[in-house]
Amino acid sequence: MKINIKDIDGDLNSFITLLRNNDLNNIVIVGGAVRDIILNRPYKDIDIAIRLNIPSPSLIDLCSPINKYEILPIIQKELFKLDNILNCKIDDFIEKGSVPFGNTTIDILGLVVVKDKREQLFPDIFIDNNNQIFGAYSELTINRLALDFEGNIWPTDYIEHIYNNIGYLTNGVLGIDFYRILRIFKTCELLNTKLDYNVSIQITDYLKKLRNPNRFLDEIKDNRVLPMLNSLFPNLNFSFDIFNIDFIIKKLEEKLKIYSMKENLPSSESSIKQYITMDKSIAESHL
């Protein structure tokens, strides 16, 4: 999937242009900012990661500690370039947690995509500010998207990599709730992709808990839930006044079955167009 960088407004456009003009092709945008751009809504901040192509994952052990992080020499090299351009220090990313850029901030999350000599993909390495593997503590990993300065958005190989190689990272999921489950279904719908096994199991267990009326009523108070439900089921017109818990759970279980079985196929041109031109009011309900 690819977008036109010129269509991106504001600081993210400026930052991507800066990367391109300075040949920083190993730095990619990751996470929520990518999702926000796709859904045509404002982003809150810019998270970056360093793209790696090294001969052996054993090199991960050859780290140079910087405060709480253990950062590979290749990351240091990329960050030194970026630091000179942004007029800051590597320590600013570590000690302060972020670096100001225009009206937003830039945070470094870690590394992405390690390959061996046979081009086999290994698990993503994300190191957070507690020196923990980021992926193990993030929400559903399928929501992690990446954008390079040429406008390429991974999921085609990135999500394939996730569900083929690192499904176990979802065992440590934090923050799973009704809204995130709906959002993951919407992501599957738009990207035409598949949930990894562990995510499917977690969603199955969570839907069972939602059959409890008190739990369901508490979760549906989140004002993002109903708009997302209606975007997933546009013909059902759910409302606060009229809904049947068992019916809703049944429909979601049907969705889960579909997305647990669906092959990971490239998004069609129409899907991409839908991504970029989605009605703003609906787009805002997705996040």
Q: Retrieve residue 183's tokens.
A: 């959002």
Distances in whole angstroms, Cα of residue 186 to Cα of each of 27, 168, 201, 268: 27, 22, 18, 16
Which of 140, 172, 204 is where one domain is finished? Answer: 172
Q: How confident is the model at residue 57 (pLDDT cuts 50, 70, 90)?
A: very low
HSE of 208, CA atoms in CB hemisphere, 13 A: 6
Q: How does pLDDT run across 30-48, given as a tens digit for each residue?
A: 777 876 776 677 788 888 8
Q: Which of 247, 262, 102 is nearest to 189 (CA)?
A: 262
Angle at 197 between CA 166 and CA 191, to 5 degrees: 80
Across the range 187-214, mean pLDDT stands at 78
Whether the CB-CB separation of 263 and 188 falls below 8 Å is answered with no
Q: How does pLDDT run across 99-141, given as a tens digit for each residue?
A: 889 899 888 766 554 444 444 443 343 434 443 333 333 334 4
Which of 172, 198, 228 is where one domain is finished? Answer: 172
pTM of the model: 0.51
Residues 3 and 124 in one domain: yes
Distance CA 60, CA 75 (A): 11
Residues 241 and 184 in one domain: yes
Highest mean pLDDT: which range of 81-90, 188-197, 273-282: 81-90
Residues 151 and 263 in one domain: no
Give the number of residues written for the chain: 287
Which of 149, 172, 195 is where one domain is finished? Answer: 172
Bridge partners of 64, per DSSP, are 71
Q: What is the CATH number of the domain that holds 144?
A: 3.30.460
pLDDT value at residue 171? 32
Number of structural domains in the chain: 2
Residues 201 and 236 in one domain: yes
Helices (H), the chain: 10-21, 32-38, 73-86, 90-95, 158-165, 178-191, 197-209, 213-219, 225-232, 245-261, 269-277, 280-285
Residues 143 and 4 in one domain: yes
Residues 158 and 183 in one domain: no
Its domain, for residue 152, covers 1-172
Q: Beta 104-112 vs 46-51: how paired, if at all?
A: parallel
